[in-house]
Each structure stands twice: as structure tokens, then as C-alpha cells.
Structure 1
Amino acid sequence: MTAPARVVVLAGGVGGSKFVLGVRDALRARGLADTTAALTVVVNTGDDLWLSGVRLQPDVDSITYALAGVNNSEQGWGRAGDTERVNEEIQQWGAGWPWFTLGDLDLGTHLARTGWLREGLTPTQVLERMSARWQLGARLLPMTDAEVDTIVELNDASRMHFQEWWTRHRARLAPARFENPGIDESAPAPGVEAAIAEADIVLLAPSNPVVSIGPILAVPGMSEALRQTSAAVVGVSPIIGGRVVRGMADVCLGAIGVQTSAAAVAAHYGSRADGGVLDAWLIGEEDSAESAAIDDAGIRSVVVPLWMKDAASSAALAEAALSAVSI
């Protein structure tokens, strides 16, 4: 096996973090000792927010920490071994959100980021500085330099930030729609379109299709870049056995009228031949009966084990994605 020279991954959330680690390991297993120049990760920034005066980028931080090996793997977010003294003090002042915990080490990241942003750096430049602290083995790019948060509108027409709906209410409030104010005026971050155009393969991580991959694809020009690239575009299903792997993605899918099935999510992304973004779609062995429907939609189905239980299984899944088409 030879290592492809250029791999781009669109990712967000815990599933995205695990998959990106797997891609890095798969590339190393193919003989690529330094994967930094080969692997570009376009990270969702659609669930970013301002809180207590600092800018939070949950997906950016989760993927950065995971690649750096300092993430809290049990919790799924934040830093390993973190403490919460500052967060407790913030809440004693009645500031912040009592149901949204910020660790002390994590707050250090947010403070550094906010300071750089206030000095005039763009999110792309900030992420470049953050990445320089550790040997990540990947280049990280935000999906856009514009501020694009996610707002959830409920059935009663009330609205709240996605993080409140997701973390405080655990998606128990029925959503009518998800909105990304400002996204129509945004543009892909510098380097994103070029990375996609020059890629040998583009991978869609098994992240939430609505609030992780969805905002990335909604940035004007992003889907078109995927349709125009000469690289194959391969996605990995976040649905196994008709169920979501983690979180409440099924609630999100229901809000946009998409069934919780591997075939339905593939159809949601669509075939590149018909104006969508996918060439191939990896599904679990539990969903092999859906292969024919996916193939009929113009997307090549590939049945593989999808569970990312550890580093080895994550790397195996990534290798399957890299091998799904000829590169």
C-alpha cells in the first residue's frame, strides 16, 4: 500500500476526533512517518459561541486535543486531568452557564484564542498558532473565518443556542429547524478550497450530518468545491444498525426529515453524479441490507466494521475509507 499524498477530512465532534486519529494512524501504517503535509482536517465551527467573554470552539478544541493526545477520552471533550476551580468561581459570580462546565486548562485555550482574536488574528491564524504547540500530524483549518453559530428553533417558535439545547436540555426539546446566522455571507477559510482541489481523496467523517458536517457543507462554495475536485469523496456513516453511535443525531435528522438509517443519510448527502457530494459511502455490517438502495442512488456502498472501539479499530476504519476507491 502506498500513502496518498493529500488527504482532506471534513469533521466535527467526538466521532470526527476518533476518525481523524484513525486516518493519521492509517497513513503512518502506510509508511508516512510525518503526516502533517499529507493530512488536512476541515473542522466544523458551526457550534462556536461566546461565553463569559471568551470565544469557544468545541469541535476545533476536541480535534486539536485528540491529535495532541491531551483530550479527556472518557468524557469525550475537554482536557485530560483538568480541574474546575475557575469555572466554580465564575458560577459563584452568577456568570456563565451552570450546566456548561469549562475546565481550567480548557479556559486557558479559550483565553489565548480570545486574546489573539481581539488582536486582529483570524480564526485560521489562531488555529495555526494553536496547532504549533503540539506535533499534531495534521494541518487544521476552520471551515470559515466568519462567526457562524448554530441556533435551534423549537416547535413553539422559541430559540436558543445549539449548545444550550444540546448540553442543558440533552435534545429533549423538539426542534423545528436549525439555523446558522451569517453562513450565507461566509466563505471557506483560506486554504480550504485549495486543499480540496488538490486532494487525492476527501473523507467525510462519521460526524453528526446536521450540526457537524451540515454547517461545513452549507458554507457557500464548499459543496461546489467537493463536486469539482478530481479527488474521490468518501463518507463514513454515523448510523450503525439503524441507530446513532453517539449523542442525539437522530433527533437532528428527524428535524430535517431524514430517517435514522445509513441509506437515508447517504441520500441526504447525495451522489456527485446527481449534484450531491458522495462517490462512496461506508456502512456497517449491520446495515448491509441497505447496500442496494445506496448503490441505486449512484453512491458506491462499502460494507465494513464501523465501530471505533480503540485506536486499532479506528485506524482500520480509516484504512477502509482510504481504500474504498482507487487512489
Structure 2
Amino acid sequence: MRVTVLAGGVGGSRFLKGVRAALRDGEPSEITAVVNTGDDMWLAGLRIAPDLDTIAYALAGVNDEERGWGRAGETMRVSEELAAFGVGWPWFTLGDLDLGTHIARTAFLHDGLPLSEATRRITARWPLGAGAASIELLPATDDEVETHVVTDDGELHFEEWWTRLRAAAPARAFVQTGVEASRPAPGVLEAIRDADVVLLAPSNPVVSIGTILGIPGIRDAVATTPAPVIGVAGIIGGAVVRGMADACLSAIGVATDAAAVARHYGPRSAGGLLDGWLVDEVDAASAAGLEADGIRTRALPLRMRDDASSVAIVRAALGLAASGSTRG
């Protein structure tokens, strides 16, 4: 089975661990993660790719599970030295092990390699797959497409708005700089086109999944793939599971509601992206309306508390994809 997942950082990493575990003992499977690069940036002369690294560390089992980002067992000596020199962002702390990844990536890029090849070389260090399931991480694009946030006080990089301001300054718009001239990274369109199932992880629908879909060609590939497209809500009972996606959704006029996000993606039968959608049990009442809109919907517990709960969610998504025609 070939499964392609569009994913952001923390939520995407937990979901991908569930995908890997769900497919581990079955037939040989290929999992391709198309990862958001809108959070990427240059900092202290290094190219930082937060979502790619968060997912790679989690799949490799070397992530800091308590913080949800970075490497386990980190020390901060280099960041402390940089702060003493007034270099970088003191509120965006990078551990020494994490900096090793960023230095390696920057060296690969300076050698003329594209981000996708740099990512392949970085992830080759760890066995990301397990059992019968192999995993490949692909950046959505090799081009520099960074998400900026427009606020009343001006425009700033998404990471500054998210990490330093904690999304407290109301976002008026999100701008993906350089997106018009960007292209999908090698293998991205093929992974979507040739998949048996395409899954939209419960990642931020605006700045993670939305940024991926904004790369020219990717939205069309998802809309036209022969594979069923199944999404998983990252909102339960009107509240985001993790992060501050509600601040992002309000900026684009979408309610913080699982059904509203499904309608934002839209049914493929009406020119949208979704064949199926998973909601939490507390939002089960929305299923009938979504079904009437052409989005097949199932309700089940969606909190990824551990590997078992993540596997159950993935199996439900794969089951919905396989349960007859999902194309409206």
C-alpha cells in the first residue's frame, strides 16, 4: 500500500507514527510525508526547517516528547554563547544536537544540493520505517517559501508571531513569500498521484496544510488524484487539540469547528479536496450535514494520547478510504 500524508510538525509527527505502526505488520507499504516548509527560515546563518526536523526526530525516536520539539537530552551551550554575542533570537532556543542538524542542512545547501536531497541525507541517519513500512520525508518545495503574518503593527515571520508573541497579536492575513514562483519538490506530485490513499493529517489547516496546498500544482494534484483523500480533524468540541490554530482560522474567516474546517477543504464532488473526514465523538452530530455535503464522515475518539490511540485513528481513516466509493 502506498500512503501519502500531508503534514505539519507536532500533530503531523504523532499522526505519522500512527500511520507507521498501523502498517508495520501488514503488506509492504510505502509512506510518503509531504511536509510543510512555510515555517522554515534563516537564523544565525543557518537554514532552520522546524516541521521537517520535528517529524524526523519523532519517527527516529530521538525527539523530546515532553517539549514536543527538538532532541531529547539537549544541552544549550551554543545558544547561550550566541545570546551572549547578541546573535539570533533569544526566545527561539536551539539545542546543541538540533544545531548539528541545521549546520548539516546548511552545508548541504551551500554545496548546491536542494532541500529535498539535504532532507534525504539527514534522515538517512536514522531508520524511520519499521517492519513492512518504509517512510520518506519530502519537503513540499525546494524553494524558499516562508509564511509571514500581517498584524496591525506590521509583517513578521510566522515563527516570531507564533513563538515570541504566542499568536497574541491578531493576524490580519498570512502571506507565503515566494509561493507564486515555487514548484513542488521532486516526487511530491507523483506521491500524491500514485498513492492508494492520501491523508490530510490533523495539522494546522491554515499555515501547515494550507501552505502545502498553496504550492502551485499541489492542490490540483490532491483534487485530481485517483486515490481517496481522507482528512482528520485537529479540532475537538470547538477547541484546537494543540497549538493556536484557532488564531489562524479566525484570520481567514473559518470557525474553530471540525465541520467548518471540513467545509473549508470542501468535498471533491463539488471541486474541493475531501472524500472523507474523521471527527471526534463529541462532534458526531455534524456528520449528517457533512454527509449531505458530499463528505463521508465517521466519528471516533481523536485524541492521540499514545501509540494505540493514534493507530486507531489511522485505521479508521484507512477503513473509510476502503469502504466503497468515497468520490461522492
Q: TM-score range by the shorter chain?
A: over 0.9
Letter in 2 for 1:19: F
Structure 2: gaps spanning 5 or more residues = 130-134, 324-328
Of 116, 125, 135, which residue of structure 2 is paired with 1:133?
Answer: 125
Alpha-carbon distance in 1 for matches of 2:223, 2:253: 24
Alpha-carbon distance in 2 for matches of 1:242, 1:297: 20
SS at match of 1:153: strand
Describe the superposition over 1:281-311 as per-residue Cα deviations: whole angstroms up to 9, x where unpaired.
0000010111122112211111111010011
Query: In the alignment, does 2:91 pair up with 1:106?
Result: no
Alpha-carbon distance in 1 for matches of 2:292, 2:213: 23
Alpha-carbon distance in 2 for matches of 1:151, 1:43: 18
Query: Taking structure 2 as the reference length, what is the TM-score of the superposition?
Result: 0.95
Letter in 2 for 1:205: A
Query: Taking structure 1 as the reference length, what is the TM-score of the superposition?
Result: 0.96
Query: In the alignment, does 2:250 pair up with 1:250?
Result: no
Query: In the alignment, does 2:307 pair up with 1:281?
Result: no
Runs of 4+ aligned residues of structure 1 deviating over 2 Å after TM superposition are none
Alpha-carbon distance in 1 for matches of 2:223, 2:148: 28
Tell me the percent identity: 59
- What CA RMSD, in Å, does the superposition of the two structures yield over aligned residues? 1.0
- Matching residue of 1:143: 140
Query: In the alignment, does 2:204 pair up with 1:208?
Result: yes
Letter in 2 for 1:67: L
Describe the superposition over 1:72-115 as per-residue Cα deviations: whole angstroms up to 9, x where unpaired.
11101000111100000000000111111000000000000000
Alpha-carbon distance in 2 for matches of 1:186, 1:194: 17
- Count of residue pairs the alignment pairs up: 318
Alpha-carbon distance in 2 for matches of 1:162, 1:150: 6
- Matching residue of 2:326: none
Of 148, 153, 167, which residue of structure 1 is paired with 2:150?
Answer: 153
- Matching residue of 2:231: 235
Alpha-carbon distance in 2 for matches of 1:169, 1:325: 39
Alpha-carbon distance in 1 for matches of 2:136, 2:72: 22
Query: In the alignment, does 2:261 pair up with 1:265?
Result: yes
Alpha-carbon distance in 1 for matches of 2:34, 2:62: 20
- Matching residue of 1:62: 54
Of 14, 18, 22, which residue of structure 2 is paired with 1:26?
Answer: 22
Letter in 2 for 1:266: A
SS at match of 1:207: coil
Of 308, 311, 318, which residue of structure 2 is paired with 1:315?
Answer: 311
